[in-house]
Amino acid sequence: MSGLVCNSTTEDQTITEIPLWTNGYTFHHLCLFIGGAFTVFAWVISFVLILSHATHYSRPVEQRHIIRIVLMIPIYSSVSWLSIYYYKVSVYFNIVGYCYEAFAISSFFTLLCQYIGPDLHSQKEYFRTITPKQWIWPLPWLQKCSGGEQGIWRTPRSGLTWFNVIWFGVFQYCLLRVLMTTIAVIAQHFDVYCEETLNPAFAYVWILAIDWIAVCVAMYCLVQFYVQIKETISHYSPFLKLLSIKIVIFLSFWQSSVISVLTSIGLITTSNKVQSPDLTVGLPDLLICIEMAFVSILHLWAYSWYIYTIPEASDLYGGAKQPIYHGGRWGMKAVVDSINPLDLVQAVSRGIRWMFVGRKTRMVDDPSYYPDTIALNSTHGGAVPGVGATEATIGRRAAGPGDGRYGGARFGEEGKGFADRNSGSHSIGEFEDHHHDQDRMDELDARPTAHEFV
């Protein structure tokens, strides 16, 4: 390692470009001006949307994730502009953006789960009753190459197992992204990161490959999850939400990666008007600044705050009764709640437990492996463990955004879940698996067998 030297141009070279036209601006200055203007625009639009949600914080378990997703736009545009300005240390800014990307993907998945049910227990009840749809491409092709529905890539028979596979597939990116970010910072400190080359002697190519695999798995699982539940949550406009986050992930990761690869292999070359730092850092980050401004506009429709407004009611004396929101003064409580990552840390922990702990008990304890038994017991009024509340759960799903998610009043005070464990108002991070017998069964049937894991 003592002879390993990164031939870095971005960190060592100072930009000395000539103007693009006579008495005009250099490419670097244009990147700063144009990128800065679009960054300010994205900040304003996103700030208005976040503030609107924070001051109309009527359903915290949903809106905390919406605020996290919307916050991705100003974070991405800011770190991109800072990367242009401080191009010699741009790697640190890019790492921050990529790390938040994992946070946003996990928040989006959790938001979709909240649309299904207000807590993990009711979500499991729902997924026990479903029949998993066929995997989308390319897994069907892999199935043909590895034994079809009897091979390793088969579709799980249990809806709950399918849900846990998707869960792990999404949240693994959180863990790996944070791990890769830590490794990248350490490698950069010891000058063995070297973003300018794909030489396997340096850390960049390996971190890029692991990130590429992890983000592909996470996005694949998100799309598969959407395909499975899109009819159930159609009144929440899930396609527009999925499109808005896929655009951001695609542009931020693939766009920068493609430009980096093309530059590394020599298909894109430098000149005295566009030097290496602006080609490898300025150009992709300028594009992100511009694109995030347009995505911020899309968010106004994809994550509208209007459905969370509570209409004014009359009190006993006929006077106007002001609606009660839970965002605190100026929405500050909502913002603090949104940036608290504890629920996502717990979700990652649950995914790890499911993947590596207690695989041998799954088929025995999971009633969703025996649909005929469930149907027979339901017909005769019998109780099947873990399925007793399914009918009520399905009935509540038909409610639209304006009526509250479960057919009654809007879901409001999140703290009710702590007073009544069975009230169905827990956030996704409050895992009930360890508290009573039913949840002990949930913990067991969240664990795969060696021959059921797909």
What are the tens digits of pLDDT across the range 138-174?
776 766 676 666 666 677 778 888 898 899 999 999 8
pLDDT at 355 over 50: yes
User: Span 175-198, mean pLDDT?
Assistant: 84
The three-state (H, E, C) secondary structure of the chain, written as one string = CCCCCCCCCCCCCCCCCCCCCCCCCCHHHHHHHHHHHHHHHHHHHHHHHHHHHHHCCCCHHHHHHHHHHHHHHHHHHHHHHHHHHCHHHHHHHHHHHHHHHHHHHHHHHHHHHHHHCCCHHHHHHHHHCCCCCCCCCCHHHHHHCCCHHHCCCCCCCCHHHHHHHHHHHHHHHHHHHHHHHHHHHHHHHCCCCCCCCCCCCCHHHHHHHHHHHHHHHHHHHHHHHHHHHCCCCHHHCHHHHHHHHHHHHHHHHHHHHHHHHHHHCCCCCCCCCCCHHHHHHHHHHHHHHHHHHHHHHHHHHHCCCHHHCCCCEECCCCCEECCCCCCCHHHHHHHHHHHCCHHHHHHHHHHHHHHHCCHHHHHHHCHHHCHHHHHHHHHCCCCCCCCCCHHHHHHHHCCCHHHCCCCCCCCCCCCHHHHCCCCCCCCCCCCCCCCCHHHHHHHHCCCCCCCCCC
Helices 283-302 and 256-264: crossing angle in degrees, nearest 10, is 160
pLDDT at 452 over 50: no
Per-residue pLDDT band at 446 (split at 50, 70, 90): very low
pLDDT score of 262: 79
Better pLDDT: 206 or 361? 206
For the segment 193-209, the average pLDDT, to the nearest whole number, is: 82
Cα separation, 367 vs 370, in Å, equals: 6
| Distance of alpha carbon 100 from alpha carbon 319, whole angstroms | 46
* Confidence band of 275 (pLDDT split at 50, 70, 90): confident
Structural domains of the chain, ranges and CATH numbers in brackets: 29-309 (1.20.1070)
Report pLDDT for 410.
39
Question: How many Å separate Cα 59 from the centre of its chain?
Answer: 19
Nearest to 107 by CA among 174, 48, 47: 174
Q: How far apart are CA 53 and CA 327, in angstroms?
A: 8
Confidence at residue 34, expressed as pLDDT on a 0 to 100 scale: 94
Position 7 confidence tier, pLDDT thresholds 50, 70, 90: low
Confidence of residue 399 (pLDDT cuts 50, 70, 90): very low
Contact (CB, 8 A) for 103 and 146: no
**What band does 449 get if pLDDT is binned at 50, 70 and 90?**
very low
Separation of alpha carbons 446 and 368, rounded Å? 12
User: Looking up tokens 């566009």, which residue turns up?
Assistant: 274
Higher per-residue pLDDT: 62 or 367: 62
Q: How confident is the model at residue 312 (pLDDT cuts 50, 70, 90)?
A: low
Q: What local confidence, expressed as pLDDT, does residue 9 receive?
A: 53
pTM of the model: 0.74
Specify the range with the lowest mean pLDDT, choosing from 43-47, 114-118, 259-263, 309-313. 309-313
8 A C-beta contact, residue 284 and residue 255: yes
Angle between the 332-339 and 60-85 helix axes, to the nearest 10 degrees? 80
Contact criterion met (CB below 8 Å) for 387 and 366 = no
pLDDT band at 294 (very low <50, low <70, confident <90, very high): very high
Which amino acid makes up residue 117? Answer: G
Average pLDDT over residues 449-453: 38
Inform me whether the pLDDT recorded for 39 exceeds 90: yes
Q: Would you say residue 183 has pLDDT above 60?
A: yes
Give residue 292's pLDDT band: very low, low, confident or very high (50, 70, 90): very high
Percent of the chain at pLDDT > 70 equals 70
Round to whole Å and give the CA distance between 7 and 193. Answer: 11
Query: Is it the case that residue 64 has pLDDT exceeding 70?
Result: yes
Looking at per-residue pLDDT, the higher value among 87 and 294 belongs to 294
Which range among 147-156, 191-200, 301-310 shows the weakest confidence by mean pLDDT?
Answer: 147-156
Q: How many other C-beta atoms are found inside a 10 Å radius of the C-beta of residue 169?
A: 20
Contact 83, 281 (CB under 8 A): yes
- pLDDT, tens digit, for every residue of 99-138? 888 888 899 999 999 999 888 888 888 988 888 888 887 7
Q: What is the mean pLDDT of the chain?
A: 75
